[in-house]
Structure 1
């Protein structure tokens, strides 16, 4: 499969469903997973700090370890890969890596870079909840983009919040810098998923103010 095969975007969005059963014989190579995550990482993020890490669980033994942590949900062992999307609680530390290359390329002045880094560090130091909120918010953008990228390649996904985060952190040695945001199963569906309805969009829109 190649990302050069592009399906109409609106079709991708409309036909994406959360799939809970997968063809357990289907495998994804590490390169195919990397291609998906490269597209996911094109998601926007505050200050372009890219508040995400991906813990990719594709060895069968690792999936089996995950199964009880995910409360026995079989899709984690049937899927080709389970991507744990982690939010970065110290994404401010990414600033030099983000802005440094722009300075070297002549796209950003050094004083502007220094000003941006000062703003970022101030935001992270002022409010204790800020780092957590930003980690979850921005990593979730990458998670949605990952699911759409997978659908574009003919793959099925399911976002999962139903897992024991503390047990996950311990079992998979997640550093304290990162917070598990969600698990995303990716694989081949053996049969088309059940379509789901949506509340009419008119009921979800408030124009200008309550």
Structure 2
């Protein structure tokens, strides 16, 4: 077996072993160093204009998880998982464009004049977008980083579940999340006490068309 085949097989196993786990071992703890390494893999995800609008609020103390529990409609994984990672979208991420592309120039990935012109166009465009369009962009990018986070967790032998069922307004109020941030989802991460339920998927042929919609 070639090296590329081994890598493909390993990646395929990560995808197939990832399940939404709702029952966690409360004694299993992930260090903040390991959480940061996990997020370091997650933030390699793509984003619109590379503005990287994702922001993370990691809730790992027992006291804070208990505050979150009723906000998340008493889903027990909130209390039992090692941490709950709130994925947020920064609606003003374009204000960091100069910093991001300045670092791109410093890394030798783009000429300075190209970066300057690009930042000017980008800031002008993003600052004029409606709140609805901005929300759609950061929600899309938030979904990309969330999926990457969950696969990176599975590659480390950890389990996750994405949660959209929570009171977003109450969450923002309780945890001091400003108006510039859009809550996208909560992700519990830890070690499964019981395996996630097996599920089925529609066949590729049932969800795929080529060149024009036929399904």
The TM-score, its normalising length taken from structure 1, stands at 0.93
Following the alignment from structure 1 to structure 2, what is the Cα–Cα distance between the partners of residues 155 and 92? 33
Is residue 57–residue 63 contact of structure 1 (8 Å, CA) maintained in 2?
yes
What stretches of structure 1 move > 6 A for 4+ residues in a row?
A: none
2:171 is aligned, of 168, 190, 199, to 168
| Secondary structure class of the residue paired with 1:8 | helix
Q: Give, in angstroms, the shift of residue 109 of structure 1.
A: 2.4
Show the 5 A alignment for 1:30-69: 30-69=32-71
Q: Give, in angstroms, the shift of residue 107 of structure 1.
A: 3.4
Is residue 124–residue 130 contact of structure 1 (8 Å, CA) maintained in 2?
no
* Number of equivalenced pairs: 205
Gaps of 5+ in 2: 1-6
| Secondary structure class of the residue paired with 2:84 | strand
Q: Give, in angstroms, the shift of residue 102 of structure 1.
A: 2.5
Distance 1:199 1:152, change over 3 A: same
Following the alignment from structure 1 to structure 2, what is the Cα–Cα distance between the partners of residues 199 and 107? 41
Q: Give, in angstroms, the shift of residue 194 of structure 1.
A: 1.6
RMSD: 1.4
Instruction: Tell me whether 1:14 sits opposite 2:16 in the alignment.
Output: yes
| Secondary structure class of the residue paired with 2:183 | strand
Corresponding residue of 1:144: 147
Following the alignment from structure 1 to structure 2, what is the Cα–Cα distance between the partners of residues 152 and 172? 30
Corresponding residue of 1:73: 75
Corresponding residue of 1:182: 185
